[in-house]
Amino acid sequence: MFAGVRGELGVLRPHRVEKQLLRACLDMANNVCVVVALKHLSLTLFYILIFTAPMTVAVLSAVVLGEGLGWRRAVAIGVGFAGVVVAVRPWELWAGTGGSGMGDWVGYGACGVCVACFSVNLVWSRVLTRTETPESLAFFSGLVTSAMGFGWMAVSRVGGPGLTAGLWAGLVAMGVFCALGTLCFYVAVKHTSAANVSQYHYTQLLTGTLVTYAVWGTRPGVWVVLGGGLIVGSGVYVAVRQRG
C-alpha cells in the first residue's frame, strides 16, 4: 500500500527470490515461536529471554560481517548470558522445584528458536539490503507469512469456532503494526549496523513489564529482575562500545 500510494510498485520486486524466500521463512518461524513462547512464559520473562538476541547479533556480526567484537564486549556478552541463567534458574527446573515459576521448558525452547531465527535474519538482512529495497524485504516477508497463516487458519477452522468481528479486527490491527514495524526494521538495517539495530529491543522490557502488571497483575520476582538487569546492562554496554 505504501509503495502503491507513492507510485513505486517496482520497489517491491525481489532480485534474489530464493534468498528472500529463505529469509522470509526465518521470519515466519520466529513469529510462530513467539506465539508458542507467550503461551508458556510470562510476558516479562519472555522479553528478558528475547533480550539475548542483541548479544547473539553482536557475535554473528563479528563473525559474518566483520564488524568487530573485542574482549570487553565479549565479557559483556558473557555477563548477559549469566543474567539469563539467573532469571531462569535452570537448576531448579531440573530439580522439579519450578525455577522462576514463570515458564517451562517448552517456552524456553521456543524463545531459543526465536533468538536464533531473529539474529540470523537480522544479520542476513544487513547483507541483503545491499541489493534489495526495504519495501521488497518487508513485502516478501509479509507475503510468505500471510500465505502460511491463511493456510493454517483454513485447516484449523475445520470443526472449530469461526472468526468473530472482534478477532478479525485484532488480526488486522496486528498486521498493520507488524507491517509498519517490519518496514522500519529493514530501513534501519540498511543505514546502520545490525548490532546497533538490535539494541533497541531493550525498550520493550519496560513496556512488557508494565503491560504484564496492568493486564494480568503479574509482578516479576527478584531473580527475574536481577537477571534482567544483568542482560540489559550488558546489552547497553555492547551498544555503547559499538558506537565508540
Per-10-residue mean pLDDT for the chain, 244 residues long?
Answer: 64 81 88 88 77 80 77 78 74 54 78 90 84 82 80 65 77 81 78 68 68 76 79 75 62
Residue 86: predicted pLDDT: 79
Q: Are 212 and 218 in contact (CB under 8 A)?
A: yes
Residue 7: predicted pLDDT: 63
Residue 4: predicted pLDDT: 60
Cα 205 to Cα 20: distance, rounded to the nearest angstrom = 30
Residue 110: predicted pLDDT: 92
Q: Are 23 and 132 in contact (CB under 8 A)?
A: no
Contact partners, residue 50, CB within 8 Å, separation at least 6: 111, 114, 115, 118, 201, 204
Residue 95: predicted pLDDT: 54
Helices (H), the chain: 2-6, 17-40, 43-50, 53-60, 70-88, 90-95, 105-128, 134-156, 165-191, 194-198, 203-211, 222-243
